[in-house]
Homo-oligomer: A and B are copies of this chain.
Amino acid sequence: MLFEQERQQKITNYVEKNGRASVQELCKEFEVSESTIRRDLKVLEDNELIQRAHGGAIAKNGVNFEPTFSEKSDRFLEEKKAIAKKAVEFIHEGDTVLLDAGTTTRLLVDEMKALSIITVVTNSVVFANELENYPKIEVVLLGGKLRTETLALVGPLTELCLNQIHVDKGFIATNGIDLEVGLTTPNLTEAATKRKMIEQSNQVIVMTDHSKFNRHSFAKFGTIEQIDYCITDDKAPNEVLRALEQKGIKTIMSPLGGE
């Protein structure tokens, strides 16, 4: 008999190996009920490990998936929008900001378009493209190897570029925030880049929706103590936020529907 996490790990493997899997197929394979499989799929989707479909799941990093699709099915979009609205208040005229690639930070890009003169440093080709039409925003793109799944730039070259700069505020995305483990993401190379980003930011602002709390992924890139501000939505677990506050980290809970 498998433990819950073991089964979920194996389901991920199964889906990745076959590119897809139906709920019924997984029931047979793991000898559990449909309810259990569906619960597992939900968890795995929250962790962005698979892509759910009506009737089963599809592998994520499969060649088959356009970013537009994952964007469409982006969970917690409203929460992320609310978070972005709060985050943009941190940016003032003349600031230099660092913007980490990620689905939550993506929505901050939209908010930034209305701002006056600022410099935005980013490792996301998508963000750079989005911002290039706004003459008041100077865009600096970090170099590096292009990760095809996320269109983010990572690797030694990115870190080298980061070494050359220092920004007022760094907006960092994360896949997991856990009081004990800290900040984590699934990809080791990406983690190294994020680590350097935190180093080069005067203020570290973590943007994360509630689903990332008390979760951890594979690669650690920072400790809780390195955070200056944590912006999240109003479904984030209160006890964690209190613990953060006790460590001197300002937490901002953004209510849904904006201001």
Contact = CB atoms under 8 A, between A and B. Distances in A.
25 contacts: A3-B53, A3-B54, A5-B58, A6-B20, A6-B53, A6-B64, A8-B69, A9-B64, A9-B65, A47-B66, A47-B72, A48-B68, A49-B68, A125-B128, A125-B129, A132-B151, A133-B148, A138-B145, A139-B146, A140-B144, A140-B146, A140-B157, A156-B164, A160-B161, A160-B164
A97 interface: no
Contacts of A138: 145
A204 interface: no
A140 B143 contact: yes
Copy total for this chain: 2
B132 A146 contact: yes
A68 B46 CA distance: 10
Interface residues of A, number: 50
Contacts of A139: 145-146
A11 interface: no
Contacts of A156: 164
Given A49-B68, A63-B135, A160-B160, 20 more contacts: A3-B20, A3-B54, A4-B53, A5-B69, A9-B65, A12-B66, A47-B66, A47-B68, A49-B66, A125-B141, A128-B146, A129-B129, A129-B151, A139-B146, A140-B145, A140-B146, A156-B164, A157-B165, A160-B161, A160-B164
Contacts of A153: 141, 143
A72 B45 CA distance: 13
A257 interface: no
Contact of A148 (B5, B54, B135): B135
A186 interface: no
Given A6-B20, A58-B6, A146 B141 contact: yes
- What are the 10 tightest A-B residue pairs by CB atom distance, in nearest-first order? A143-B143, A3-B53, A143-B161, A139-B146, A47-B68, A142-B143, A132-B148, A5-B53, A9-B64, A140-B145
Interface in A28-54: 47-49, 51, 53-54
